[in-house]
């Protein structure tokens, strides 16, 4: 009985300490495309924030991500989708769901929205696939 208990404990430890799965090929491609676009904003003094968000998206579907922003900063939210996505868009909303006017960039499966918030607080970023097939997206942002 004691051996069985030790085996269960060992198996549990293996599960808890298993190496995390790496990113998929689609995630790597989407992130590379988003970083490529973010590089253009770095020429204007924007710094990429550490971290990014991946997800699955389908045509006519939107994903919403809440972010906390600070007045006095400028932001660019950059999204790119892998392979079968043909066209995506990015939009920003305040905490009450009101559309926030932004400077937009759209080029097929790459899109970005830039603005300087008037008030600090939570904002919602919407990524939407306008055409194509289901795909993986990556969202990251730059600030200055």
- Find the CATH number of the domain harbouring 27: 2.60.120.380
In a domain, 81, yes or no: yes
Closest CA to 88 of 105, 65, 69: 105
Structure tokens at 15: 């599960």
Return the closest-CA partner of residue 129 out of 54, 62, 33, 83: 62
Does residue 11 belong to any structural domain of this protein?
A: no
Question: What is the total count of domains within the chain?
Answer: 1
CA-to-CA distance for 89 and 85, rounded, in angstroms? Answer: 11
Among 31, 22, 26, 25, CA closest to 133: 26
pLDDT of residue 17: 44
63 lies in some domain: yes
Tokens of 6: 């030790």
- Contact in structure between 44 and 87 (CB atoms under 8 Å): no
End-to-end alpha carbon distance in the chain: 61
CB atoms inside a 10 Å sphere around CB 136: 23
Instruction: Give the tens place of pLDDT for each residue, 20-77.
Output: 577 788 888 989 889 888 888 888 888 877 677 889 999 999 999 999 999 999 999 9
What is the rounded average pLDDT of the residues 104-113?
A: 95
Q: Is residue 4 part of a domain?
A: no
Instruction: Give a yes or no: residue 8 inside a domain.
Output: no
What are φ and ψ of residue 69, in 5° steps? -120, 160
Domain carrying residue 115: 23-143
Q: Which two tokens stand for residue 38?
A: 């973010």
Is 37 domain-assigned?
Answer: yes
Domain-embedded: residue 15: no
Examine residue 71 and state whether it is found in any structural domain, yes or no: yes
Residue 130's pLDDT is: 94
Over 50: is that where the pLDDT of 16 sits? no
Q: Which two tokens stand for residue 43?
A: 């020429």
């Amino acid at each position: 009985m004691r051996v069985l208990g030790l085996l269960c404990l060992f198996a549990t430890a293996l599960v808890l300490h298993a190496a995390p799965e790496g990113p998929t090929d689609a995630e790597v491609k989407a992130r590379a495309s988003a970083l490529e676009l973010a590089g253009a904003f770095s020429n204007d003094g924007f710094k990429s924030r550490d971290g990014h968000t991946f997800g699955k998206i389908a045509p006519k579907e939107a994903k919403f991500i809440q972010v906390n922003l600070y007045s006095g900063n400028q932001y660019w939210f950059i999204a790119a989708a892998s392979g079968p996505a043909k066209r995506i868009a990015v939009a920003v909303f305040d905490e009450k769901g009101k559309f926030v006017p932004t400077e937009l960039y759209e080029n097929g499966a790459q899109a970005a929205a830039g603005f300087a918030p008037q008030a600090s607080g939570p904002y919602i970023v919407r990524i939407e696939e306008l055409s194509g097939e289901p795909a993986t997206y990556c969202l990251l942002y730059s600030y200055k």
